[in-house]
Amino acid sequence: MKLIDHSRVLNHMKPRVSFNIFFRSLFLLATLFGLLVLGILLYRIISQGLPYFNFQFLQNLPSRNPEQAGVYTALIGSIWLMAVVAPVSLILGVGTAIFLEEYAKKNAITTFIQINISNLAGVPSIVFGLLGLTVFVRAFALGSSVLAAGLTMSLLVLPVIIVASQEAIRSVPKELRHASYGLGATKWQTILRVVLPAAIPGILTGGILALSRAIGETAPLVVLGLPLFLAFLPRSVFDIFTVLPMQIFNWTSRPQEEFQALAAAGIMVLLILLLLLNTIAVLIRNRYQRRY
């Protein structure tokens, strides 16, 4: 007498295997669907925008003549915006996360703050635009400047950075901290030299997501009253400026077909800028990823 009836096992295995295959192909389909849509999008944009995508396009100002139109001021404006958003949102975001994770006591107030931060992440961006308009543009009298827009955008992406940084800090093993304390390190030394380096990959992942959102966002900037046409560049953070998504949005709503192609070329520039930013972040992240 056998302990295992082989034929019964085989019988049992069949539905299990087919079940596995079913779900496997389901998830594969889900992945492919996303890739397919992305592929179609890229194909459409590139085939439409390529004729206009050249060095001139990067150097010219917007124009009524599609052949002469370009994204110079918008591109430089977007870079200026990032130069404000990246440091402000990272310093504030990571600072908040360190405080909440390492210093704050777990009580009703911190829980309340925590819930509010998570909720803020879901607030529509136009609301932040209105906030920026009343606080930065009007009350602080910054006008539609790089600083006002940068601060508004930083507020918009802060929740994402805070939540991601908190997760990253929380996932640093307790043993590392204990070892550090055991060697006589102070709390600040532990945070700076043990916790933060270990948490950097997670923090940067949040940062990438946040900056990608900030660079593509249009609605809050429209509310802030950013202009579309500028023939000059911002010289300081207090100067008026414009950004790529606004220029793209304007071109898509023009009646002439040439402007739709210009919009596609503008999207290409935006995507390349985004890829560049992300590459830098991924490179920094990879330096730290292998540590623990």
Partner 1 sequence: MKKFKFVVLLLLIVTSISITSACGKGNNNAGDQKKENGGAAGNLEGNIKVDGSSTVYPIMEAVVEDYGSKQPGVKVSVGSSGTGGGFEAFGAGETQLSDASRPIKKEEQATLKKNGIDYTEFRLAFDGISVVVNKDNDWVDHLTVEELSKMWLENGTVKKWSDVRKGWPDKEIKFYSPGTDSGTYDYFDEDILKKKPLVEGATLSEDDNVLVQGVNGDKNAIGFFGFAYYLENKDDLKVVPIDAGKGPVTPSHETIKSGEYTPLSRPLFVYASNSAVKKQKEVNDFLQFTLQNAGRLAEDVGYVSLPKEEYQKELDKLKAIK
CB nearer partner 1, residue 116 or residue 144:
144
Give the contact letters, 1-40, x = binds to partner 1 (CB under 8 A), - = no: ----------------------------------------
CB nearer partner 1, residue 111 or residue 256:
256
Residue 40 CB partners (closer than 8 Å, separation 6+): none
Of 226, 214, 219, 222, which is closest to residue 274 (Cα–Cα)? 214
Q: Are 243 and 221 in contact (CB under 8 A)?
A: yes
Contact flag: residue 230 with partner 1 (CB under 8 A): yes
Kindly report the number of other CB atoms within 10 A of residue 277's CB atom: 19
Tokens of 69: 């139109």
Of 284, 261, 280, which is closest to residue 45 (Cα–Cα)? 261
Least separation in angstroms between residue 39's CB and partner 1 is 23
User: CB under 8 A: which stretch of 22-30, 97-105, 161-169, 189-197 binds partner 1?
Assistant: 189-197
Binds partner 1 (CB under 8 A): choice among 62, 93, 159, 220: 62
Binds partner 1 (CB under 8 A): choice among 64, 105, 174, 290: 64
User: CB under 8 A: which stretch of 13-21, 25-33, 109-117, 231-239 binds partner 1?
Assistant: 231-239
Binds partner 1 (CB under 8 A): choice among 34, 39, 51, 227: 227
182, burial (CB in 10 Å: exposed 0-12, middle 13-18, buried 19+):
exposed
Contact flag: residue 126 with partner 1 (CB under 8 A): no
CB nearer partner 1, residue 83 or residue 115:
83
| Residues constituting the chain | 292
Tokens of 67: 């052949």
Contact flag: residue 121 with partner 1 (CB under 8 A): no
Contact flag: residue 130 with partner 1 (CB under 8 A): no
Residue linked to tokens 């906030």: 131
Residues 247-266 that bind partner 1 (CB under 8 A): 250, 252-257, 260
Q: Integer distance in angstroms from the first to the last C-alpha of the chain?
A: 52
Distance in angstroms (rounded) separating the CA atoms of residues 122 and 102: 25
Least separation in angstroms between residue 42's CB and partner 1 is 21
Phi, psi of 177 (to 5 degrees): -60, -45
Kindly report the number of other CB atoms within 10 A of residue 39's CB atom: 11
Residues at the interface with partner 1 (CB under 8 A): 61-64, 83-84, 87, 90, 138, 143, 193, 196-197, 200, 222-223, 225-232, 235-237, 240, 242, 250, 252-257, 260, 284, 287-288
